[in-house]
Chains A and B, each alone.
Chain A
Amino acid sequence: MKIYLSNQGNLRNFRGFVESLDLSNPDFLSISTHDKWVTVHPANLVLTAALAMQIGKDNVEIVGNVPDTGIYLDRMGLYDLTKTPSPFAYNKKEEAGRFVPIKVIKTADDQSRFITDIIPLLHLSEENTTVIKYVIGELVRNVLEHSFSKDGAVVAAQYYKKTNRVSIGICDTGIGVWRSMQTYWHPKTDIEALRLALTPGITGTTRKEGGTSENAGAGLFFIKSIAKITRNYFAIYSGHAEYTLLKHDKRLKGMPRLYADPNRDPHNSTDNAPIFNGTLVAVDISLDETTEFNDLLSSIGNVYDKAIRERKKGKYREPRFV
């Protein structure tokens, strides 16, 4: 496998990152970077980390000329997952700041500890912390419940002061979305599976409206909606499919409209990406754009209700006119 970390590693360019992946020869991973500047979104980082963990550090190396900005890869813990020693020398204590380096979460207790102990490292206000805890709490739980990954959820996050934005990436090397949707929904393709997973009220655990006692099929829809309302990107990659919610145009006033069908959102998607056996979810949240969190939840909840009502209507029998 070969992964190239470019100088444009943000979610806007996520599709390009995915298309550049070479996931053949799965026993060895070679990581290279742009030779002058490297910019890495947590999404790109956790995907790289998850694959590295899967095959073991002896089979992973960072090759080529890594620029000074590659120190970020060390700070985030990527070098620890490879056999390549870090060329960077710095005082790690000084670097403690507004990021969450690569962490692995394998149990619900790990998750609770992560949310209690690690997220405060981002030094956010209480209201903003709630949003981030919400997003990470839902996404990690999805991995623990649905991915059947032996390596758990790989998580990283970064706060960008200049844009007042938090970027989050969560990745697993489990069964992927297509397989988790098979029992009840039988999607034909990976992209159809992603569409189902993003549709409110659809869960891989039942076809029943309202879900089971444990699952309602709301998690990913809520997270995608939080990204949309805060006018930012959301991306998901599993199997051959990749879907990126595009940033809502800032010139359009008012709260962005939410849709139950992810295909109605401005997005790009493909069902021809290099096959990734697992799931990656990434989201950017602009804290300047976060309205009161309960207003945001209320808007998302209304769309969720409407989606259930519409689906119920779809089940009504039509009169037979002969």
Chain B
Amino acid sequence: MKKTILMRKLIGEFAENKDIAKKVRIEQVMPELSKGNEIILDFNGVNGATQSFIHALVSDPIREFRGIAFDNLAYKNANDNIREIISIVYRYMQESLEDDDNDSDLKAL
């Protein structure tokens, strides 16, 4: 199943309200990913976003679901600025996931 979330309706032209990011994450993104469904975050009409907003929206799904999040979470109509911020969050989250893995490997030993 595929679900599209129209971000403009939730956050307006500029995505900075982390409370809304958290709400979307908890109420929509995480439940859909846990069912293995695909989610499309549609940024049509959104001009910009802060790194904090994108972090609050997607860092936990990446940490929790990893490959499922990478495969099933997609972004539509994101302008260059928003794409860049999403890419930054993806990069540093993957760096930190390796860190988590190393920590758990060490614990297992």
Binds B, one of A70-78, A81-89, A276-284, A305-313: A305-313
A297–B81 touching, CB < 8 Å: yes
Q: In whole angstroms, how far apart are the Cα atoms of A213 and B84 in the complex? A: 19
Q: In whole angstroms, how far apart are the Cα atoms of A5 and B22 in the complex? A: 42
B99–A293 touching, CB < 8 Å: no
Contact with A216, one of B92, B97, B100 (Cβ below 8 angstroms): B92
Q: Is B13 engaged at the interface, CB distance under 8 Å to the other chain? A: yes
Chain A residues near B44 (CB-CB < 8 A): none
Chain B residues near A293 (CB-CB < 8 A): 48, 81
Q: Is B19 engaged at the interface, CB distance under 8 Å to the other chain? A: yes
Chain B residues near A116 (CB-CB < 8 A): 12-14
Chain A residues near B25 (CB-CB < 8 A): 213
A216–B47 touching, CB < 8 Å: no
Given the contacts A112-B16, A308-B92, A210 and B97 also touching, CB distance less than 8 Å: yes
Q: Is B95 engaged at the interface, CB distance under 8 Å to the other chain? A: yes
A297–B12 touching, CB < 8 Å: no
Contact with A209, one of B14, B83, B88, B96 (Cβ below 8 angstroms): B96
Given the contacts A108-B17, A214-B18, A216-B55, A298 and B84 also touching, CB distance less than 8 Å: yes
Q: Is A173 engaged at the interface, CB distance under 8 Å to the other chain? A: no
How far apart are B43's CB and chain A's nearest CB, in angstroms?
13
How far apart are A111's CB and chain B's nearest CB, in angstroms?
7
Given the contacts A112-B17, A130-B47, A214 and B56 also touching, CB distance less than 8 Å: yes
B81–A130 touching, CB < 8 Å: yes
B84–A108 touching, CB < 8 Å: no
B97–A301 touching, CB < 8 Å: no
Q: Which residue of A has the minimal Cβ distance to B16?
A: A137
Given the contacts A112-B12, A133-B16, A137-B16, A297 and B52 also touching, CB distance less than 8 Å: no
Q: Is B9 engaged at the interface, CB distance under 8 Å to the other chain? A: no
Q: Is B93 engaged at the interface, CB distance under 8 Å to the other chain? A: yes
Chain B interface, DSSP helix/strand/loop, else mixed = helix
Of residues 267 to 322 in A, which have CB atoms within 8 Å of B's CB atoms?
A: 292-294, 297-298, 300-301, 304-305, 308-309, 312
Q: Is A134 engaged at the interface, CB distance under 8 Å to the other chain? A: yes
Q: In whole angstroms, how far apart are the Cα atoms of A182 and B87 in the complex? A: 31
Q: In whole angstroms, how far apart are the Cα atoms of A219 and B55 in the complex? A: 11
Q: Is A179 engaged at the interface, CB distance under 8 Å to the other chain? A: no
B56–A213 touching, CB < 8 Å: yes
Q: Which residue of A has the minimal Cβ distance to B11?
A: A112
How far apart are A295's CB and chain B's nearest CB, in angstroms?
8
B18–A141 touching, CB < 8 Å: yes
Q: In whole angstroms, how far apart are the Cα atoms of A208 and B93 in the complex? A: 11
Chain B residues near A218 (CB-CB < 8 A): 51-52, 55
Chain B residues near A214 (CB-CB < 8 A): 18, 22, 55-56
Contact with A130, one of B19, B20, B48, B83 (Cβ below 8 angstroms): B48
B87–A301 touching, CB < 8 Å: yes
Q: Is A138 engaged at the interface, CB distance under 8 Å to the other chain? A: yes
Known: A210-B97, A294-B83; 17 extra A-B contacts, CB below 8 A, are A108-B17, A111-B17, A112-B16, A112-B17, A116-B14, A126-B47, A138-B50, A141-B50, A210-B99, A211-B59, A213-B25, A216-B52, A297-B81, A297-B84, A297-B85, A301-B91, A312-B95
Q: Which residues of A contact B (CB under 8 A)?
A: 108-109, 111-112, 115-116, 126, 130, 133-134, 137-138, 141, 145, 201, 208-211, 213-216, 218-219, 222, 292-294, 297-298, 300-301, 304-305, 308-309, 312
5 cross-chain pairs, A with B, having the tightest CB-CB distances, nearest first: A210-B96, A137-B16, A301-B88, A213-B60, A209-B96
